[in-house]
Homo-oligomer: A and B are copies of this chain.
Amino acid sequence: MSKQILVLPGDGIGPEIVAEAIKVLAAVKDKYQLAIDWQEGLVGGAAIDAEGLPLPESTLAQAKAADAILLGAVGGPKWDQLEMAKRPEKGLLGLRAELQLFGNLRPAILYPQLANASTLKPEVVAGLDILIVRELTGGIYFGQPRGIKTLENGERQGFNTYVYSESEIRRIAKVAFEAAQKRQGRLCSVDKANVLEATVLWREVMEEVAKDYPDVELSHMYVDNAAMQLVRAPKQFDVIVTGNMFGDILSDAAAMLTGSIGMLPSASLNAESKGMYEPIHGSAPDIAGKGVANPLATILSIAMMLRYSLGYPEPADAIEVAVKQVLADGLRTADIYTEEADTRQVSTKTMGDAVVAAL
């Protein structure tokens, strides 16, 4: 029986970049005779427009039945005035929670061909290769109680709850230690244990789990210092593990260091390695529909999906080689174009076609 992929283009540039990724998926299916199939579904603003809800029951059922999910991006100004429970983001957050995709892997890699696209000095970022492991189904994103209430004195108060249990911390710790084992063996856990009790427990559990991974060197860093160190000397890091909120902030900063945010894929995995794959960047409503978005992060998300959830490492490698090839050939979408010699600016579609050709 063939493996099923649910494709959720979403909003903004989502549909454009996903279209190119699907071309690539079709090409590797053909070439490697993969037993895979896919169907499309609605999520985010697209689902709100069609069905009034960011995560319709039908989409959730499709997602539960699928072996892997490819997501474009969700959100945009069109839906910004909706109340919290009906926003596009709830579609994404609902999928993460319902499928228990707690392990979010966000690589921040500098592509040598794009060294000039970084705003950091070349010597600071050359060869940068960090993996951020972000806990994705807990912490303040999902903690209860939450809301806005009216106090006795008549003024309103907004509140959220930052909460982690030992088992939630332990399972993301394992993902991070195992990732570090396959890399340089260095894991930095980021918390705010000098202020937040929730992260005191986080630090304790990290230490506990570390005993099972004597080959990994564990260190701890406060989140404010981590934000500084990412700017000062990002190459000191191998793998970073942190909670949902800090991971949201630090992974975006880390991705931007590389100058290649349009290039970076991500995986969100559950305990059985079922996963949702998406570019790290957002829905970029300002450039949606113009055919200028970079499809490579989504194409590379396909590679991650083939490798982590579908068990096809060979076509995954082939896609990554093809992407490097088109970069070496000088093709650049607007976000990574720096007017360098022997490069030229191309559209979303030209970039997708070039990857297919390079395969």
Contact = CB atoms under 8 A, between A and B. Distances in A.
B257 A231 contact: yes
A15 interface: no
A2 interface: no
A201 B151 CA distance: 14
Count of this chain's copies in the oligomeric assembly: 2
Contact of A256 (B93, B197, B231, B282): B231
Nearest to A74: B194
A170 B214 CA distance: 50
A25 B72 CA distance: 58
A158 interface: yes
B194 A232 contact: no
A255 to B, nearest CB: 7
Contacts of A199: 158
Contact of A197 (B84, B250, B252, B257): B84
A45 to B, nearest CB: 12
A184 interface: no
A202 interface: yes
Interface of A: 75, 84, 87, 89, 93, 119-121, 124, 140-141, 143, 146-148, 151, 155-167, 192, 194-202, 223-225, 227-228, 230-233, 245-246, 248-253, 255-257, 261, 282
